[in-house]
Amino acid sequence: MLGALRRPFPPTIRQLLVPGFSAQKQSAQTQLEVCGWVKSVRRQKNVSFAVVSDGSSSRGLQAVFSKDTIPNGLTNGCSVKLRGQLVESPGTRQEKEFRVETAEIVGECDPDASYHTHRCTFFANKYPIQKQSLTVDYLRDQCHFRARADKIGEMLRIRDCLSRAVHAYFEKEGFMSVHTPIITSSDCEGAGEAFSVSSDDTSNASESKDDTSDEAARHFFRKEAYLTVSSQLHLEALATARSRVYTLAPCFRAERSQTNRHLAEFWMLEAEWAFTQSVEDLCVVVEDVVKNAVIAAIAQEGHEDSELNFRVHATFMLGHPWLRMSYTDAVEKLRIAHAAHPQLFVFAPEWGKGLQSEHEKWLAKEVGGPVFVTDYPMALKPFYMRLNADGQTAACFDLLVPGVGELAGGSLREERLDMLDKAMERHNLLGQEEYGWYMDLRKFGGAPHGGFGLGFERLVSAVSGQPNVRECIAMPRWAGRMLL
């Protein structure tokens, strides 16, 4: 039997600041250890104060130094290791403070020092993350430091919380977490926006005897390869064996859009499960997983961000079921609004055309909360979506959220082999070797199934209040820019 596990880490600042962590738990002889980075320093004649953060909380811990314990080199941005006692604070701005008994500067932060590598020398006029307000563009230029900024730090904590909540939800519902390929042989969405993958080294390409053509020899895998734009097709294969599967994984899209909703590298929450036969089933799961994740974020971060609770409740209408609306009804609503106010939309709404971002945001705002728009025209959707009985629309949905627009999309998948044949023929995919396995899934023990994909950065944006998804991921990439 295992004995008590040794605690390898000192408590985080978040753990120290929770009401349940009391100074009474410490004996007079026991020192606590606090590690982190100094956010500000205030010196007085006999005592000095520093706010220390380790990233676990938006609230820093006030450290109190006597003349004898304050170390040389205590500056904004330096990393420290402090030992001392957590005590009740006599001040009104914080309930607890840390009375320092010994202090060590682990990493200096000289604002005027140059630093060098084996190649060159760099000069920094000052530590980039100062106490004053910093613009979004400035922080992007300081991407390697921007996680130390308050807003980005809060976003990262919310992102972590949402991720944990998503995994907890699917585990509770009996789903298996799986890892799908990053490199694929197909463009799942068929939009032609995939990044090609190639290798500069073709020295061993002709060693295979089964195909010695020059065209095949050019490719590392002896065929075209791409960075994935979606895990859906691979999830379908796994769902036919494991019933319920999901992944939270990176996706890539070579789209040159410069809007606040698009990244070249982003993360998608995708789930697929067998034996489901209605779009309503899909909508229920999406509504549940999003609400569960959002509630978890409120529970973790709500006491640190006074606006989070109001913002999230106003966006996600947590106490109410989300509306369902057909594409046909949505277009009719848009047409009536456009007829009454011709300047309302840049793009006139019309049945048979895709909904623009302005249409999606207007619908969500008009409804006053999230809305599932279902049954889009089949001509607008990929080949794998199931055709409805009307012969015109797909058994699908998009989830529209106020301030964000489209957050998630999903569908029943076409499990009828003859109908899938026709759909692939319409998209000029029939007979292509890379989709042969996809057809086999229907031939051998196929079952009705469906699933969805949710843009994780867009969810982070809606919860954190960051209007641009470039501030909803640690190191963003978009057309013309790759930070770090």
Helix pair angle (327-340, 357-367), 10° resolution: 90
Mean pLDDT of 459-482: 94
Q: What percent of the chain has pLDDT over 70?
A: 89
Q: Tell which wins on pLDDT, 64 or 133.
A: 64
The tokens describing 356, both together, are: 């623009």
Based on the number of CB atoms within 10 Å of its own CB, is 207 exposed (0-12), middle (13-18) or buried (19 or more)?
exposed
Query: With helix as H, strand as E and coil as C, how does 105-120 read?
Result: EEECCCCCCEEECCCC
Between CA 281 and CA 233 the distance in angstroms is 20
Q: What is the pLDDT of residue 131?
A: 75
Q: What is the pLDDT of residue 393?
A: 98
CB 210 within 8 A of CB 216: no
Give 174-201 pLDDT, tens digit per residue.
Answer: 999 999 999 998 766 655 689 998 887 7
Mean pLDDT of 366-373: 96
Query: With helix as H, strand as E and coil as C, how does 185-250 read?
Result: CCCCCCCCCCCECCCCCCCCHHHCCCCCCHHHHCCCCCCCCEECCCCHHHHHHHHHHHCEEEEEEE
Mean pLDDT of 390-405: 96
The tokens describing 233, both together, are: 């097709």
Q: What is the pLDDT of residue 9?
A: 85
Q: What is the pLDDT of residue 484?
A: 82
Asked if residue 119 has pLDDT above 50, the reply is no
Q: What is the pLDDT of residue 207?
A: 54
Measuring CA to CA, how many Å separate 284 from each of 13, 148, 238? 38, 38, 22
The dihedral formed by the CA atoms of 211, 212, 214 and 218, expressed in degrees to the nearest 10:
70
Q: Tell which wins on pLDDT, 202 or 17.
A: 17
Asked if residue 107 has pLDDT above 70, the reply is yes
Kindly indicate the confidence band of residue 95, based on its pLDDT and cuts at 50, 70 and 90. Answer: confident
Q: What is the pLDDT of residue 221?
A: 84
Q: What percent of the chain has pLDDT over 90?
A: 72
Kindly indicate the confidence band of residue 236, based on its pLDDT and cuts at 50, 70 and 90. Answer: very high
For the chain, give the mean pLDDT: 89
The dihedral formed by the CA atoms of 108, 111, 113 and 116, expressed in degrees to the nearest 10:
80
Q: Tell which wins on pLDDT, 301 or 113.
A: 301
Where is average pLDDT lowest: 85-94, 260-269, 368-377, 399-408?
85-94
Give 263-298 pLDDT, tens digit per residue.
Answer: 999 999 999 999 999 999 999 999 999 999 999 999
Q: What is the pLDDT of residue 4?
A: 60
Asked if residue 118 has pLDDT above 50, the reply is no
Name which of 137, 223, 216 is nearest 483 in CA terms.
137
Kindly indicate the confidence band of residue 116, based on its pLDDT and cuts at 50, 70 and 90. Answer: very low
Mean pLDDT of 372-384: 96
Sign for the pseudo-dihedral over CA of 456, 460, 462, 468: negative
Asked if residue 454 has pLDDT above 60, the reply is yes
Mean pLDDT of 94-111: 91
Asked if residue 218 has pLDDT above 70, the reply is yes
Kindly indicate the confidence band of residue 439, based on its pLDDT and cuts at 50, 70 and 90. Answer: very high
Asked if residue 323 has pLDDT above 80, the reply is yes
Q: How many Cβ atoms from other residues are within 10 Å of residue 267's Cβ? A: 21
Asked if residue 312 has pLDDT above 80, the reply is yes
Kindly indicate the confidence band of residue 209, based on its pLDDT and cuts at 50, 70 and 90. Answer: low
Give 7-50 pLDDT, tens digit per residue.
Answer: 678 899 999 998 767 554 555 557 899 999 999 999 998 899 99
